Amino acid sequence: MTVQDSAGQPRQRLAALALGAVGVVYGDIGTSPLYTFKAVFGEQGIGPAPQNVLGALSLIFWSLVVVVSVKYVLFIMRADNKGEGGIMALMALAQRSVREMPRVRLLIALLGIFGAALFYGDGVITPAVTVLGAVEGLEVAAPTLAAWVVPIVLGVIVALAWLQRHGSHRIGAVFGPVCAVWFVAIAALGVAGIARHPDVLRALSPGYGVAFFLRNHAEAFFALGAVVLAVTGTEALYADMGHFGRRPIRVAWFYFVLPALLLNYFGQGALLLQHPGAASNPFYLLVPRILLYPMIALATAAAVIASQAVISGAFSMTREAIQLGYVPRMRVVHTSAEMSGQVFVPWINRALLLLIAAAVLGFRSSDNLASAYGIAVTGTMVITTLLALIVARRQWRWRLPTVLATGVALLTVDLGFFSANIVKIESGGWFPLALGLAMFIMMTTWRRGRELVVREIKQGGLALAPFIENISEHPPLRVPGTAVFLTANQEAVPHALLHNLKHNKVLHERNVLLTVEVLETPIAEAEERITIEDLGGGFHGLGLRFGFAEDPNVPLALLQCARAGLPFDMMDTTFFLSRETVVADRRRPGMALWRDKLFAFMARNALPATAFFQIPGNRLIELGAQVAI
């Protein structure tokens, strides 16, 4: 008999998931001690005087408490869309709460898309800065090895991309224990540092953070751009919620990850109080000389884990964006039979590999990348807060004063971090913004392009009801079997049906017009999965609905239609599909010509709908159709 915890979840299972979460979810934030303190006293013009050290340490402590513990772990993670997290799931949840307000829905969609685009920028910067920060320990151990830092980092990045195909379930099983050793190690280093200078614990008082601003004025504000490095990875924490569940992630944070991080930061602070010159690299200078090389190896392993956390979050978000219609169809590989949220997207993996390598070669050090870091992270944090406040008001029915008070408190912190990072644009912050803008353009272009294609198909189609009536009056040759026509418009005759009738001059005994719809919830309920309408004359309208976290397996769903009165024999069923060739036409209203061409390019390279819907190729007939937008 398995012992259950208070939530009814087996404790052994909870412990295993929490350990996996340590390896997959918390790798990013777990490696922030490598570079955060160094960045605070690097280019900010603030010297490591004792009062400045205590002030910066106080800001780091309260940032971890307010941003990670209160905002994300306790507040944002409540906004799970039936178990799924991430900004796309949150956007769908917020949109569902304002169904009757189309303009607000559009604004929410734009916010969500921009936040998702910035998250992709974070997915490029985080692996680059984290792995660089780890390998740069070689410069402390042996300055002559400095020239080898970038080549080693590139090798690590390539190995990381190769590891992704094994999935976060298997990676978590391997990385979980490694990351646990990492947290124990940094906690032990912190305890040793605190023991030598326990006065550092005074930084627990927020008064030192306030005094830091009063003493350093503008420089203190700019230093926030470095302090935010301590909370990077929180968005990946939310995005990876579908991999492990809310409770294991919370347990891992409060009982293991947070204490280890605080101990290490305070240990670094204690070192700086004793030796201000250690500000050049306080993390590695806290390590005893004899343990330096093993710590570099462990830090590099932890950096790989940190990068994996963000990348797996990008996979999860991409899958949701595909289903919601904001990203072209791509091949999605499931890596776990137990957790549906654990996926691998090969195209995204390859794209991230190239962009991360470009960032490493372009910036060449964690200090340079730290200047580029933060804008994407803090921009996404602001958008996540806004969407969560909409959900709190509309879905959870919070009272308006409560929502306003929560919003003021959280947005004051978020906007403070974001404003402090705006000044980094010229020194490298343009890079994640450029990546985010490119992704925003592609996502909005794909969404709008699909709307225009559907509009053209609907305008050019024949009305279905008169067609069926005419078929009854002038029946063509009917052949045995069932024909399934995939269509976006149940009111019009599918082009594939017209072409089949025109060229083959036959009609099947039973014709099914199939429309596939993706809902704003992760999983479609059984009662909303299938809708069937008898149109007469051997025609049926069939609607299949899937959640955005599901794989739209059409043949499997058709077998379930027997319970609803429409049985299918797959060996006697033929699928007909019109494959649209999109052509850009400057005379058509809707988008600029360059966006039409961009959409046409993405449409040509998207995964075919038949593969996406898992329709067997030996039961498929595709007919071409040209659509001008």
CA distance 555 to 544: 11
Give the pLDDT band of residue 191 (cuts 50, 70, 90): very high
Averaged pLDDT for residues 34-47 = 79
Residue 490 has, within 13 A of its CA and on its CB side, a CA count of 17
Which range, of 181-190, 198-207, 372-381, averages the lowest pLDDT? 372-381
- Distance in angstroms between the alpha carbons of the first and the last residue of the chain: 62
Residue 10 has, within 13 A of its CA and on its CB side, a CA count of 6
Q: Using one digit for the tens of pLDDT, what is the confidence trace for 484-505?
A: 998 888 888 888 888 888 877 8
Compute the C-alpha angle 410/326/378, nearest 5°.
Answer: 25
* Alpha carbon separation from 33 to 169, 297, 374, 424, 553 (Å, rounded): 26, 16, 15, 21, 45
Can you give the length of the chain in residues? 629
* pLDDT at site 44: 61
Averaged pLDDT for residues 300-305 = 81
Higher pLDDT, 26 or 370: 26
CA distance 191 to 168: 31
Averaged pLDDT for residues 567-580 = 85
The helix (run of H) or strand (run of E) holding residue 538 is: none
CA distance 177 to 181: 6
* Alpha carbon separation from 365 to 135, 140, 285 (Å, rounded): 10, 14, 18
Give percent of the chain above pLDDT 70.
93
Which range, of 206-210, 309-313, 528-532, 604-608, averages the lowest pLDDT? 309-313
The 3-state secondary structure of 416-444 reads HHHHHHHCCHHHHHHHHHHHHHHHHHHHH
CA distance 516 to 487: 8
Q: Using one digit for the tens of pLDDT, what is the confidence trace for 133-175?
A: 778 877 777 777 778 888 988 888 888 888 777 655 555 566 7
Cβ atoms of 26 and 237 closer than 8 Å: yes
Q: Which pTM does this prediction carry?
A: 0.77
* Domain residue limits, the chain: 11-423, 456-628
Cβ atoms of 545 and 524 closer than 8 Å: yes
CA distance 414 to 72: 12
How far is C-alpha 36 from the chain's CA centre?
A: 24
Q: And the tokens for 388?
A: 């969560």
Nearest CA-CA partner of 281 in 605, 592, 48, 494: 48
Amino acid at 512: V
Q: Per-residue pLDDT for 409 more than 90?
A: yes
Cβ atoms of 120 and 314 closer than 8 Å: yes
Give the pLDDT band of residue 190 (cuts 50, 70, 90): very high
Q: Using one digit for the tens of pLDDT, what is the confidence trace for 365-390?
A: 777 777 677 788 888 889 999 999 99
* pLDDT at site 170: 58
Averaged pLDDT for residues 553-558 = 90
Averaged pLDDT for residues 30-36 = 88
Averaged pLDDT for residues 121-129 = 83
* pLDDT at site 57: 95
Architecture of domain 11-423: Up-down Bundle (1.20)
Higher pLDDT, 283 or 22: 283
Q: Is 9 helix (H, G, I), strand (E, B) or coil?
A: coil
Nearest CA-CA partner of 86 in 338, 343, 304: 343
* Mean pLDDT value across the chain: 84
Averaged pLDDT for residues 564-591 = 82
Amino acid at 126: T
